[in-house]
């Protein structure tokens, strides 16, 4: 959606093709260095299309887009969409160099990902500052995830420094990276290849101003990842929405199960029998995808599977106490609700390991080693109970 086909962008791209190592007599942009640079005008079309571009800044290597440090209402809405839907997959900016304020050769250079939400957080934190923003091509993924994949990585950073001719734009040789980019970037290799010293800045863009003030020294608190209840709550829609797939499949199966009689499907029986199960399944999914993440430190045990199971069994029990119509007369079905739904909650809660800031692969592997067999056994037992119940109902036994 942010694909840039404007003449200005093409101009910047053409200039970028000319690496600084090329000979001065051959390279046309080197010759331009001594001549006054023709400042490009930002046309109303660009401003209309990308309101965050406010103008251009002149550099020895050509003109660079200047960006606003304010976030519009529309962008706040777009950020919300990123949190609740697949909208985030196409929320990108064109990689390259941008200017916040009116930076010069001595201004700081901060690096970020081309996920527009990440980029917006950075520019929002740079109000009244004169800073260069170097955007890496991370395929629209945030810094930490992209660093894990390697797209926010050493090769891309070196490549982007060369493409944007940063060596000629910045008079110094320091480049500030978000600390969470460190899993992907090898600072000593970047220094070797480009001469730029990587400084790992704060984890959060909001601390950038204080980081500049402190002479580019990240304090202990700036280096620590936080994971507050609000942080966790923000992540839950993307847990709940995918889990609704399980809910939809479960609803159809359980409806057909209760409706199935020897003479065909009986809709009245289907609805009566399935309704408590559908409500309890929804409760189990919310226990795993919402309650467990939000109350993560409060729920006992470190294992996410155990936390989810505990939240699930508690919520099933509470729901049954509050609403008597959730109780089924058959004891085998009551047993089934306590067998199946806490396990669904456990499975859903385990998925949240992918969204946390502190779970490692070895730990998740250990959890899966005992959790997956338990899920399979539970599924088999649940099916067995359902088959036996139906067989008993049909007087086949």
Partner 1 sequence: MRYLSNVSTLEFYSGKCTGCGMCVNVCPHEVFEIREGQAVIIERNRCMECGACVTNCAFGALSVARGVGCAAALINSMIRGGEPTCDCTTESSGCC
Specify which residues 66 forms β-bridges with. Answer: 55, 99
- In this structure, is the dihedral angle defined by the CA atoms of residues 344, 347, 352 and 357, taken in order, positive or negative? positive
User: Residues 98-129, buried b or exposed e (16+ Cβ, 10 A)?
Assistant: bbbbebeeebbbbbbbbbbbbbbbbbbbbeeb
CB-nearer residue toward partner 1: 93 or 100: 93
Q: Binding of partner 1 at residue 223 (CB under 8 A)? A: yes
List of residues 6+ apart from 78 with CB closer than 8 A: 87, 91, 116
Q: How far is the CB of 302 from partner 1 (least distance, A)?
A: 5
CA angle 315, 320, 322 (to 5 degrees): 95
Pick from 16, 55, 54, 52: nearest CA to 39: 55
**Residue 162: which residues within 8 A CB-CB, separation 6 or more?**
19, 20, 194
Candidates 5-13, 240-248, 319-327, 382-390; binding stretch for partner 1 (CB under 8 A): 240-248
Q: Which of 65, 152, 196, 200 binds partner 1 (CB under 8 A)?
A: 200
Of 91 and 132, nearer to partner 1 (C-beta) is 91
Stretch that binds partner 1, among 43-51, 122-130, 138-146, 253-261 (CB under 8 A): 138-146
Distance CA 16, CA 31 (A): 14
Choosing from 225, 249, 330, 376, the residue that interacts with partner 1 (CB under 8 A) is 225
Closest contact distance (angstroms) between CB of 137 and partner 1 is 14
* Among 357, 384, 388, 396, interactor with partner 1 by CB under 8 A: 357
Does residue 356 interact with partner 1 by CB under 8 A? Answer: yes
Quote the CA–CA distance of 108 and 270 in Å, as a whole number: 66
The answer to whether 142 contacts partner 1 (rule: CB under 8 A) is yes
- Quick note: the x/- pattern for partner 1 over 265-304, rule CB under 8 A, is -------------------------------xx----xxx
CA atoms within 13 A on the CB side of 185: 32
What is the signed CA dihedral for 184, 9, 4, 50, rounded to 10 degrees? 100
* Distance, CA of 95 to CA of 113 (rounded, Å): 8
Binding characters for partner 1, 83-122, by CB under 8 A (x = yes)? ------x---------------------------------
CA distances from 270 to 44, 49, 247, 278 (A): 61, 53, 17, 11
Is 364 among the residues that bind partner 1 (CB under 8 A)? yes
Question: Which one among 9, 368, 379, 381 touches partner 1, defined by CB under 8 A?
Answer: 368
Query: For partner 1, which stretch binds (CB under 8 A), given 318-326, 329-337, 362-370, 389-397?
Result: 362-370
Q: Residue 113 Cβ, how far from partner 1 at the closest point, in Å?
A: 11
Q: Is 366 in the site for partner 1 (CB under 8 A)?
A: yes
Q: Where do contacts with partner 1 occur on this chain (CB under 8 A)?
A: 89, 139, 141-142, 145, 147-149, 154, 179-180, 182-188, 200, 203, 218, 220, 223-225, 227, 235, 237-239, 241-242, 245, 296-297, 302-304, 350-351, 353-368, 372
């Amino acid at each position: 959606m942010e694909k840039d086909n404007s003449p200005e962008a093409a101009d910047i791209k053409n200039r970028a093709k000319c690496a600084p190592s090329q000979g001065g007599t051959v390279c046309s942009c080197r010759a331009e260095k001594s001549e006054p640079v023709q400042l490009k005008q930002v046309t109303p079309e660009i401003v209309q299309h990308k309101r965050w571009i406010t103008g251009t800044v002149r550099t020895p290597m050509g003109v660079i887009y200047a960006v606003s440090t304010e976030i519009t209402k529309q962008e706040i809405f777009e950020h919300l969409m990123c949190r609740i839907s697949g909208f985030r997959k196409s929320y990108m900016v064109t990689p390259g160099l941008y200017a916040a304020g009116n930076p010069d050769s001595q201004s700081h250079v901060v690096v970020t990902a081309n996920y527009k939400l990440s980029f917006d957080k950075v520019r929002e934190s740079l109000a009244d500052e004169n800073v260069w923003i170097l955007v890496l091509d991370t395929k629209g993924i945030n810094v930490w995830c992209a660093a894990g994949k390697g797209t926010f990585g050493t090769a891309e950073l070196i490549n982007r420094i060369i493409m944007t001719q940063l060596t000629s734009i910045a008079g110094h040789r320091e480049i500030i990276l978000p600390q969470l980019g460190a899993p992907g970037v090898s600072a000593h290799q970047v220094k070797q290849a480009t001469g730029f010293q990587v400084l790992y800045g704060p984890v959060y863009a909001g601390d950038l101003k204080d980081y500049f003030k402190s002479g580019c020294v990240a304090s202990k608190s700036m280096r620590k990842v936080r994971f507050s209840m609000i942080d966790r709550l923000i992540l839950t829609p993307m847990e709940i929405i995918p889990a609704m797939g399980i809910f939809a499949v479960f609803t159809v199966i359980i409806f057909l199960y209760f409706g199935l009689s020897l003479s065909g499907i009986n809709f009245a029986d289907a609805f009566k029998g399935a309704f408590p199960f559908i409500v309890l399944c929804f409760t189990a999914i919310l226990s795993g995808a919402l309650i467990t993440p939000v109350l993560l430190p409060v729920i006992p045990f470190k294992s996410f599977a155990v936390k989810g199971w505990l939240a699930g069994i508690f919520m099933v029990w509470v729901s049954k106490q509050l609403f008597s119509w959730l109780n089924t007369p058959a004891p085998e079905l009551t047993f089934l609700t306590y067998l199946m739904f806490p396990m669904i909650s456990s499975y859903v809660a385990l998925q949240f390991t992918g969204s946390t800031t502190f779970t490692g692969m070895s730990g998740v592997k250990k959890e899966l080693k005992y959790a997956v067999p338990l899920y399979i056994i539970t599924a088999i037992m649940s099916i067995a109970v359902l088959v036996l119940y139906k067989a008993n109902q049909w007087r086949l036994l």
